Amino acid sequence: MTAIQTAKRVAPIDYKGVPESYHGKLSAVCRTSEDCAELVRGFGSPDFAPNLPVLVMVPGAHAPTLIAGMGYASAAELQDCAVVTWEEQTTKLAEGKPLLDFDAARERRGLPRREDVDAATRDALLRRVAEHMANPVTDPFRQPVYPNPTNKTKFSFQKMAAKDLSNAAGEKVPDA
């Protein structure tokens, strides 16, 4: 059996209003709810899985939303995601709510509330300073370690300090 290869006519993407950095990097642009609902027709088949993302531009939103299929999600799945994204964003904009609730996202990930971060950071720094002040000898400050691409001998603070202390005691210290 021989298969006949035919070229599909793909509708060109209208990049009007799309940020310049996205030109040539999108598989489709949805500007209306009808565009989102007709996304499969633009791809030609519901099984087609585009590698490039779909851009959903809701009027009044701060930024467009990209829906990435990455060659795994079919056009039908991308269409469903685009329709849901369009509906969620338009209802949130109509109600005056922000599109992304940062406080809920922080709570889902187990992070502290935004109001508590400043106090917690101050407490942690004050505890660390108090520990260091109580034990300045046994709790030395940290020395930065830099990569050594040339493998030349470097003298760190600890080696120089040990050498200086032993010289003060009158001992002979071999060079490392």
What are the residue boundaries of the structural domains of the chain, listed by start? 20-99, 101-138
pLDDT over 90 (residue 171): no
Q: Tokens 């519901």 — which residue? A: 46
DSSP string, 13-31: P--TTS-GGGTTS-SEEE-
Q: How far is CA 61 from its chain centroid?
A: 20
For residue 3 the two structure tokens come to 């298969």
Radius of gyration of the chain (CA): 30
pTM, rounded to two decimals? 0.59
Q: How confident is the model at residue 151 (pLDDT cuts 50, 70, 90)?
A: confident
SS (H, E, C) 96-148: CCCCCCHHHHHHHCCCCCHHHHHHHHHHHHHHHHHHHHHCCCCCCCCCCCCCC
Q: How confident is the model at residue 142 (pLDDT cuts 50, 70, 90)?
A: low
Rounded to the nearest 5 percent, the helix, strand and coil shares of the chain are 45, 5, 50
- Give the tens place of pLDDT for each residue, 106-119: 999 999 999 999 99
At residue 12, the pLDDT reads: 77
Residue range 49-53: mean pLDDT, rounded: 93
Residue range 13-24: mean pLDDT, rounded: 89
pLDDT over 90 (residue 164): no
CB 49 within 8 A of CB 74: yes
Rounded Cα gap, residues 121 and 114, in angstroms:
11
pLDDT over 90 (residue 44): no
CB 35 within 8 A of CB 49: no
Instruction: Say what percent of the chain tops pLDDT 70.
Output: 78
pLDDT over 60 (residue 156): no
At residue 5, the pLDDT reads: 66
At residue 162, the pLDDT reads: 57
Instruction: Report residue 113: phi and psi, to 5°.
Output: -65, 155
Rounded Cα gap, residues 119 and 149, in angstroms:
41
Residue range 160-170: mean pLDDT, rounded: 56
At residue 118, the pLDDT reads: 95
Decide: residue 93, CB within 10 A, 0-12 exposed, 13-18 middle, 19+ buried.
middle
Instruction: Say what percent of the chain tops pLDDT 90.
Output: 51
- Give the tens place of pLDDT for each residue, 33-43: 999 999 999 88
